């Protein structure tokens, strides 16, 4: 099980799904079914639903996250949103460096670092995503790729700021490829990521930092995956759009 020092976090990344009213209905179902327990829960709806969801979860203990943010405070950046904007909409967290942002929109480690630092300086908790592709996995480059992404994506973040950072390991090879992630390899990967953090920030920081698993977590595999000692929760995609399945994953987190 997760170290007692680290409170599990189950985060739902809704991606480009749900209008405002649909998002409110989904969180209504989540509020009604929250299992209690030790785990923290966060949902990340599309930007257009943030304010409505913020009002709908008030007093529930559910945290609100944005799916992305720009590193500049303001300016001529059509289509972007700032830290202040999402914070004003009710967010306490923001996802940065998601594999889809990296692969589809060309985000680099340097860009992710700037976003994470802007989030921290603006009072948000960044959920920083890393992870290798199927080609990199099959080439035996998992540790190399993840270590490089950690080094680049966390560059410029002070040791004392790391207490406000969450890490999400996303094995891209386990998403939509037909290759299923299993608990033992997940634990090995998380342990390796934690040792990379030791080299970057020291053991106390590494042992205190939460590392979420983002490789197609579902109700039927959540208990085993989240039972691994270095897996501190989950970054959930499609399953977070189904209230009962997401609640089952949350319950499995303890």
Residues with a catalytic annotation lie at 98, 170
β 166-169/211-213 pair status: parallel
Tell me which residue of 81, 38, 45, 40 sits closest to 66, measured CA to CA: 45
Gap between the Cα atoms of 114 and 143, Å rounded: 23
Q: What are phi and psi of 67, to 5 degrees?
A: -90, -10
The answer to whether 190 and 228 are in contact (CB under 8 A) is yes
Give the orientation angle of helix 109-121 with respect to helix 142-153, to 10 degrees: 40
Gap between the Cα atoms of 174 and 104, Å rounded: 17
Residue 69: how many CB atoms within 10 A of its CB? 26
Gap between the Cα atoms of 87 and 84, Å rounded: 5
Q: Where are the alpha helices (DSSP H) in the chain?
A: 20-33, 50-56, 83-88, 99-105, 109-121, 134-138, 142-153, 183-201, 203-208, 219-226, 243-252
Q: Quick one: how far is CA 228 from the chain centroid?
A: 17
The answer to whether 128 and 112 are in contact (CB under 8 A) is yes
């Amino acid at each position: 099980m997760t170290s007692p020092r680290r409170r599990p976090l189950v985060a739902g990344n809704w991606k480009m799904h749900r209008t405002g009213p649909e998002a409110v209905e989904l969180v209504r179902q989540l509020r009604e079914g929250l299992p209690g327990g030790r785990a923290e829960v966060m949902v990340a709806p599309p930007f257009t639903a943030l304010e409505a969801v913020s009002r709908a979860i008030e007093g529930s203990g559910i945290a609100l996250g944005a799916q992305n943010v720009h590193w500049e405070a303001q300016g001529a950046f059509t289509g972007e949103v700032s830290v202040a904007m999402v914070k004003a909409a009710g967010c306490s967290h923001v996802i940065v460096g998601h594999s889809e942002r990296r692969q589809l929109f060309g985000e680099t480690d340097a860009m992710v670092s700037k976003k994470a630092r802007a989030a921290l300086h603006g009072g948000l908790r960044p959920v920083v995503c890393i992870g290798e592709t199927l080609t990199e996995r099959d080439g035996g480059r998992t540790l190399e790729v993840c270590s490089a992404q950690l080094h680049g994506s966390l560059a410029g973040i002070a040791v004392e700021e790391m207490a406000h950072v969450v890490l999400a390991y996303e094995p891209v090879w386990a998403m939509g490829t037909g290759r299923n992630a299993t608990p033992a390899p997940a634990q090995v990967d998380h342990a390796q990521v934690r040792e990379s953090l030791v080299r970057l920030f020291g053991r106390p920081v590494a042992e205190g930092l939460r590392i979420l698993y983002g490789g197609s977590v579902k109700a039927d595999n959540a208990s085993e995956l989240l039972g691994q000692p270095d897996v501190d929760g989950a970054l959930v995609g499609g399953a977070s759009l189904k209230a009962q399945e997401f609640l089952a994953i949350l319950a499995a987190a303890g």
